[in-house]
Amino acid sequence: MDTSTQIPYLTRLNSLTRDMQFPPDFVWGAATSAYQIEGAWNEDGKGLSIWDTFSHHPGAIRDNQTGDIACDHYHRWQEDISLMKSIGLKAYRFSVAWPRIFPQGTGKLNPQGLDFYQRLVDGLLSADIEPFITLYHWDLPQSLQDQGGWPNRDTAKAFVQYADQVSRVLGDRVKYWITFNEPFIVAWLGYLIGEHAPGHKDRDEMLRAAHHLLLAHGWSVPILRQNAPHAQVGITLDFYPVTPASSHFADRYAAWLQDGYRNRWLLDPLVARGYPPEVIQFFNYPMDFIQPGDLEVIATPIDFMGMNYYSRQIIRARDRENEDFTPIPLPPPSGSEITEMGWEVYPQGLFEWLTRLTYEYRFPAIYVTENGAAYPDNPDDCRIEDTQRIHYLREHFAQAWRALQVGVPLKGYFVWSLMDNFEWSHGYTKRFGLIYVDFKTQERRMKRSAHWYRQVIASGKLD
């Protein structure tokens, strides 16, 4: 069935997007992460990660689900590569599970863990799919958390050893390296809000964790370049346009603070601007964990910025009249489209951030390393007609195309996610995949969006 007959806005968009041609070398991909798909949590010498521990705490995850099995990708990776091939993906972004490589975080290496990623990389290359490795997508070895985790500076040193080891072995075959995925989320949800592993609620831990994540990144950039001679090295941050709730000065200032806290806190140090001073001052942060030379290390130039984009935030000041500028997030405006996560669909924000990263921050290359949406898919459809996901992706791809027209050095785009998977504290209740996974049988089925994406990739245009 033609989706445009079902949904009027698709018809409208079809006529607008007829000529949206992408460059022939545009890297169309899909992304996943180790803990969300691999399963095999205690196999072949793997050590425990903080997510193994956290997800086993009763009440931590929706319905007490865990990533013990997840998509069982550790055993089904060949089938998964075949599916990638059917979609026609040019690239695949995945993460390496640190506790498979160093079960205790440092020290004794587990060669079986490395072997898994060698097989995966070789399989991808022989299917003509470019591997993009993320070294850290949140699954810290538990033994490093036992020694303090990211708030402890030694964890950053351990990361460098791990990055060195992985890139020594895979550096001859893997060109694209992403040090960290969303370090803000690691520090904020993990150490301040407690919604993610390790579940702590401590402001100082959050600040230290964020700093050490950046430091680990900066230290490992030259090592990756040394071990992978043609390496392109970057980092992935999550970005949100922040819109003031009104034009009142207090709301605008609160939005600026939120932008500093949520976006620029990690972005500005990466480009040698240091931590945003207005945020430090407003929240009265102690910055005593910064040692001489740290900011220079963090600002080591990178080859590309990875951008994860999902939605925006609308912010008001806590108390306008009494000049309390504390940023308060508001729900999406009434009538706006939202995804199953409750996130407002705001495609123009992708354009806003791509242009900002280009013209304000001057990154030489940018990849959208994640973008996608959760919607309730109906498995009883023999074809899973996920028209809302197609609509979401089409609208965002169109903004990427717009950005290319104004000179943004956007090189590629990774849909989140290749397949339905373990969505952190939401367990298996939120499906982001292009591929439907039946978690009881592990059967995979391409959704309509995967077929649609295959056509976009094959033609290089939105039609």
Residue range at the interface with ligand GCO (CB under 6 A); choices 51-59, 67-75, 169-177, 180-188: 180-188
**Smaller CB separation from ligand GCO, 256 or 428:** 428
How far is it, in rounded angstroms, from Cα 132 to Cα 231?
11
Going through 73-212 in order, the beta strands assigned E by DSSP cover: 91-95, 130-136, 176-181
- Say whether 370 is catalytic: yes
423 near ligand GCO, judged by CB under 6 A: yes
220 near ligand GCO, judged by CB under 6 A: no
How far is it, in rounded angstroms, from Cα 237 to Cα 186?
11
Residues touching ligand GCO, count (CB under 6 A): 11
Other residues' Cβ atoms within 10 Å of the Cβ of residue 458 = 11
Other residues' Cβ atoms within 10 Å of the Cβ of residue 242 = 22
Contact 93, 134 (CB under 8 A): yes
Write out the H or E segment, with its range, that includes residue 217.
Answer: helix 203-227
Lay out the site mask for ligand GCO across 31-70 (x = CB under 6 A, - = otherwise). --x--x----------------------------------
Q: Positive or negative CA dihedral for 58, 155, 178, 45? A: negative
Q: Provide the token pair at 398.
A: 């169109």
**Smaller CB separation from ligand GCO, 97 or 169:** 97
313 near ligand GCO, judged by CB under 6 A: no
How far is it, in rounded angstroms, from Cα 240 to Cα 261?
11
268 near ligand GCO, judged by CB under 6 A: no
Distance of CA 2 to the CA centre of its chain: 32
The one among 28, 432, 452, 453 contacting ligand GCO by CB under 6 A? 432
In terms of Cβ atoms closer than 10 Å to its own Cβ (0-12, 13-18, 19+), residue 138 is buried
- Say whether 182 is catalytic: yes
What's the min distance (Å) between Cβ of 36 and ligand GCO? 6
425 near ligand GCO, judged by CB under 6 A: no
367-386 residues in contact with ligand GCO (CB under 6 A) are 370
Residue range at the interface with ligand GCO (CB under 6 A); choices 178-186, 255-263, 312-320, 358-366: 178-186
What's the min distance (Å) between Cβ of 432 and ligand GCO? 6
Query: Of 38, 205, 352, 370, which one is the catalytic site residue?
Result: 370
List 415's β-bridge partners, or say none. 30, 371
Query: Of 182, 205, 344, 423, which one is the catalytic site residue?
Result: 182
Contact 135, 180 (CB under 8 A): yes
How far is it, in rounded angstroms, from Cα 113 to Cα 130?
21
What's the min distance (Å) between Cβ of 310 and ligand GCO? 6
308 near ligand GCO, judged by CB under 6 A: yes
416 near ligand GCO, judged by CB under 6 A: yes
How far is it, in rounded angstroms, from Cα 240 to Cα 95?
23
Residue range at the interface with ligand GCO (CB under 6 A); choices 179-187, 207-215, 315-323, 395-403: 179-187
Residues that bind ligand GCO (CB under 6 A): 33, 36, 181-182, 185, 238, 308, 370, 416, 423, 432
